Chains A and B, each alone.
Chain A
Amino acid sequence: MKKIQFLALFIMLGALASFTVNPPAGGYKVGDTATDFNLKNVDGKMVSLKDIKNAKGFIVVFTCNHCPYAQAYEDRIVALNNKYKALGYPVVAINPNNPEKEKADSFAKMQERAKEKKFSFPYLLDEGQKIFPQYGATKTPHVYVLQKTAKGNVVKYIGAIDDNYEDAKAVKQKYVENAVDALLKNKDVTVKETKAIGCSIKA
């Protein structure tokens, strides 16, 4: 029943999408092509998706230092990169917050946090806060799974990492893992969008 509703919704969305000319307001929807960027990593080097070789896609995570929800997921984000980088889906983390509004999210503090938590992936500052609005991220953490295709990086999943922010051991649905696993098997992602509580982005 739920599946049918979902399908119906999808067909409707598809119908709507085919009539829209302008890019949809409020950021990307599943199926849109995501923009690349050129942002400063905690190691001081600039990072763009196009420079990450051997990638089949990306797990783009908008996250930050100060937010307890983001902190609750730090170890799980590291685990995601450890598991999926070798399979072609590395994590790329972006701090969307304006450090002037949130001191704990300054570039220096990002460097500290990345070192402390042994981030094995790029942790970039969205300088000028220009990238997150294009994606439509509203909070941290907020994940976009992208698949590299001939027409660009296509959004395949938007939302939460899993279904339990409080307790990693009590997780029943690993949304991001399920999405990437499906893509790796050339299958359709079943749960394409989820919502999670998070700290609003401070632009």
Chain B
Amino acid sequence: MILKKISALTVMAIVVLLISCKKDPDTAKTVEIDILQKKEVIKDTLPKQPKPLKIYSNDTVAVKAYDYAGLKYFLKQKNDTTYVINFWATWCVPCVAELPNFEKINANYKKNKVKVILVSLDMAKMIDTRLLPFIKEKQIKSEVLLLRDPDADSWISKVDSTWSGAIPATLIYNADMRKFYEKSFTYDELEKEVSNFK
């Protein structure tokens, strides 16, 4: 009697298990379709800023990470602002040395519609240990984005055909002009270049 009950229970358990196994892929599919449709809706209605791959943050700073497909939005904006895009990393000594000059331009030329964006090429493992603490410690005011796209050959030439891939490197552009520099800048040099973008 007891045995029979147990075996009946086992059969039931197996049946339940089977059903739940069968159901899973179906629900998964529906979820997938939902996400796909939602994504398309987002694409259609919001052609503005792309969605970051990830946002890295600690208690005080947050940095949006993009692959090149996402980042290129920030390299091709067409409005009345002049954008100064600096490619850098916390471990790159000449980059860190010239960073205050970019910060100064960002502060001094805000009213002249100049915006500095610092694109960090720090590696994934350095974001929490180096990049976020650096931004906090140096009180970086310019917008910092992270480019996380390790297949560099696929995008270096798209940023500029003359770029060898060495950093620091800077792109200055507005709706009418575009210039790329694989070099370090003093404040005066940078100011002179920016003032040419009028």
Contacts and interface: CB of A to CB of B under 8 A. Distances in A.
- The answer to whether A and B assemble together is yes
Interface of A: 67-68, 72, 102, 138-139, 159-160, 163-167, 170, 172, 175, 194-202
Contacts of B167: 197-200
Interface stretch (B30-38, B157-165, B189-197): B157-165
Given A138-B164, A139-B164, A195 B150 contact: no
Interface in B45-89: 89
Interface string B153-195: 1101100000111111000000000000010000000000000
A196 B152 CA distance: 5
B123 A165 contact: yes
B123 A196 contact: no
Q: Give 3 closest A-B pairs by Cβ, nearest first.
A: A139-B166, A200-B166, A195-B156
B151 A197 contact: no
A197 B93 contact: no
A67 B167 CA distance: 11
Given A163-B150, A170-B150, A195-B163, A200 B123 contact: no
Q: Using C-beta atoms within 8 Å of the partner chain, give the interface range for chain B.
A: 20 to 34
A165 B166 contact: no
Contact of A163 (B91, B94, B153, B163): B153
Interface in B138-157: 150-154, 156-157
A160 B153 CA distance: 8
A201 B166 CA distance: 8
A196 B93 contact: no
B150 A166 contact: yes
Contacts of A202: 93-94
Contacts of B91: 67-68, 199
B42 interface: no
19 contacts: A102-B93, A138-B166, A139-B166, A160-B153, A163-B150, A163-B153, A172-B151, A175-B153, A194-B153, A196-B152, A197-B165, A197-B166, A197-B167, A199-B92, A199-B166, A199-B167, A200-B92, A200-B94, A202-B93
A102 B97 CA distance: 14
Contact of B121 (A167, A175, A197): A197
A197 B152 CA distance: 6
B124 interface: yes
A105 B130 CA distance: 22
Contacts of A160: 152-153
B124 A166 contact: yes
A30 B149 CA distance: 27
Contacts of B166: 138-139, 197-201
A196 B94 contact: no
A164 B153 contact: no
Nearest to A102: B93
B153 A159 contact: yes
A195 B94 contact: no
B123 A195 contact: no
Contacts of A170: 150
Given A159-B153, A164-B150, A165-B150, A196 B165 contact: yes
B54 to A, nearest CB: 14
B165 A198 contact: yes
A196 B156 contact: yes
A167 B165 contact: no
B165 A139 contact: yes
A164 B150 CA distance: 5
Given A200-B94, A200-B166, A163 B156 contact: no
Given A200-B92, A200-B94, 17 more contacts: A72-B123, A138-B165, A138-B182, A139-B164, A160-B153, A163-B153, A165-B123, A166-B123, A166-B150, A172-B151, A195-B163, A196-B165, A197-B167, A198-B165, A198-B167, A199-B91, A200-B166
